[in-house]
Amino acid sequence: MYMNSPRGLSLHVAIITDGNGRWATSRGMPRSAGHRAGAENLRRVARAAPALGIRTLTLYAFSANNWQRPQMEVAALLRLLQEYLTAETKRCAEDGIRMTVIGRRDRLSPGLQNAIAAAEEATAAGCELHIRLAVDYSSREALFRAARRFYKVTRISRDSFEEILGEATHDAVREVDLVIRTGGEQRLSDFLLWESAYAELYFTRKMWPEFSAEDLREAIREFHSRVRTFGRLPDALAS
């Protein structure tokens, strides 16, 4: 079932962390350096999130389509992800940060699968912030896999479908309040399509490695300035 997000108290922010490679090449560095800078930036953004009312932070780390990139870049990305999980698990556990990974796992290396399992187990009690990394993730594929299983269930409801969708992605379905995309593009790119049905969208030309805590604060300020009606009339017009 969707988890409600009271305004300013328990926000779910999802970020499409775009622009790592372009950030690096514009500085004469290899694309892998941009991905490493992006991982470092995740630490900074995560530190700023709780004070802004963010309790769940989902980041698009590696999409299912990213397998089509050059093999060396894919290997570097997945190796960096494994290093990040291994390095951050102890700190996250100490800071009350829960880490989970959504997406397919069967195509990941055994080492990365083990790092994911270890991180999720060690940080399971965290309640300060929930960081969800989307790895080998495709929203359409997850919806398709859930739909294939759903026709067999006897309890037909949206809640039961969301339970199956959560099983397909290894985590409960969580309604998104705000989607941020860095890097200048303005599309969702197969990211959390069901969960973002009523999300506010925020696009910035800043590349992910240069997206700062102040930029996150600005996005949250913009979010709070909007009127979210969910199909209803605003209170002022309905009265």
* Dihedral sign of CA atoms 16, 123, 56, 4 in order: positive
pLDDT exceeds 60 at position 126: yes
Best CA proximity match to 85, nearest among 145, 139, 39, 142: 39
What does the CA dihedral 181, 187, 192, 198 come to, rounded to 10 degrees?
90
Tokens of 208: 């992910």
Residue pair 159/1 in contact (Cβ under 8 Å)? The answer is: yes
Most confident range, picked from 3-17, 142-156, 223-237: 142-156
**pLDDT class of 2 with cuts at 50, 70, 90:** very low
pLDDT exceeds 50 at position 55: yes
Predicted pLDDT of residue 232: 73
Mean pLDDT of 174-195: 97
Going from the C-alpha of 203 to that of each of 12, 13, 133, 208, 221, the distances in angstroms are 16, 13, 20, 11, 14
pTM for the predicted model, two decimal places: 0.90
Cβ-count burial 98-136 (b if 16+ within 10 Å, e if not)? bbbbbbbeeebeeebeebbeebbebbeebeebbbbbbbb
Predicted pLDDT of residue 239: 54
Backbone angles phi and psi of 206, in degrees to 5: -65, 135
Measured distance CA(217)–CA(214) in Å, rounded: 5
pLDDT exceeds 90 at position 180: yes
Domains by residue range for the chain, with CATH: 11-224 (3.40.1180.10)
Of the two residues 171 and 57, the one the predictor is more confident about is: 57
Predicted pLDDT of residue 7: 43
Mean pLDDT of 111-140: 97
Q: Which residues pair with residue 200 across a beta bridge?
A: 178
Point out the residues that are catalytic: 18, 66
